[in-house]
Amino acid sequence: MIEAIFCYLFNDKLFLSKHKHLNEDYWASKACGKKLLFNNIRRISNKYNIKISRLFHEDWKHFIIIRNPIERFLSGFTHLCVVDMDSNFSLRICYYCEGNMECVIKNLYETLKVYSFNGTETLFHIKHHFFPQTWLCHYDKNKKHYIKVDYESKDKEKFYSQLINIFRSQNVPNNKLEYVRWELNHSKSFHSTNGTTTLEKQKEILFSNPNLLKLLSIIYYDDFIEFGYKFPIENI
């Protein structure tokens, strides 16, 4: 719901004219469309006519949401490759593996190898959902400017508080902060798999297969090291 939050913060009248709740704003129903979406810093610079160096001035705050790599993979895999398995959209993202986790992980590993060697482009949603987080958001170049906000499905209140504190530090009005806080605590993203039996089943499949755990540990090695998450197995 991050996109919905920013749409509301930038133009609450527009957002509330189309939606009552944050979780109603997704895909084709996005109130702000793609107006607030940028795939690199330069496009933000051009949009707001601000030099890139000024974008990292104290008036601007940049934060990235990080998540345990295994939890993140399981969430994306369960939603896209199991729950939504039969849609044409998900079939492409999941390498036409028809819900087979081993198939997806091995194909992802090959995709990342090719990408790391020559930068071959791949589907946006494969990158967005499955690439290492340290490979996204120009992290290697700009990490010193980023505030890391850790998302834990078992401690969402901590995550919500971090977001609210960032918004408050940027002088977001209290009434908007209260709306966002209430929505975060009472609305659930339509594609959330947290707490479902489907997610638990996929977790069991993964943790019963040391080879898959090792391959995921290799795939997300940089994330584990950079963000201090514990590897799921020893002797990587």
pTM, 2 dp: 0.88
Q: Which pLDDT value is given to residue 123?
A: 86
Q: Which pLDDT value is given to residue 44?
A: 83
Long-range Cβ contact pairs of 203-208 (< 8 A, separation 24 or more): 203/74, 205/101, 206/70, 206/74, 206/101, 207/232
Q: Which pLDDT value is given to residue 105?
A: 98
The three state secondary structure string of the chain is CHHHHHHHHHCHHHHHHHCCCHHHCCHHHCCCCCCCCCCCHHHHHHHHCCCHHHHCCCCCCEEEEEECHHHHHHHHHHHHHHHCCCCHHHHHHCCCCCCCHHHHHHHHHHHHHHHHHHCCCCCHHHHHHHCCHHHCCCHHHHHHHEEEEEECCCCHHHHHHHHHHHHHHCCCCHHHHHHHHHHHHHCCCCCCCCCCHHHHHHHHHHHCCHHHHHHHHHHCHHHHHHHCCCCCCCCC
Give me the residue spans of the domains in the chain: 69-145+194-236
Q: Which pLDDT value is given to residue 6?
A: 93
Q: Which pLDDT value is given to residue 186?
A: 86
pLDDT tens track, the chain, 236 positions: 889 999 999 999 999 999 999 988 877 788 888 888 887 788 888 888 888 777 777 678 889 999 999 999 999 999 999 998 888 888 999 999 999 999 999 999 999 999 998 877 888 889 999 999 999 988 998 899 999 999 988 888 999 999 999 999 999 999 999 999 999 988 776 556 676 899 999 999 999 999 999 999 999 999 999 999 999 998 77
Half-sphere exposure of 174 (CA within 13 A, CB side): 0
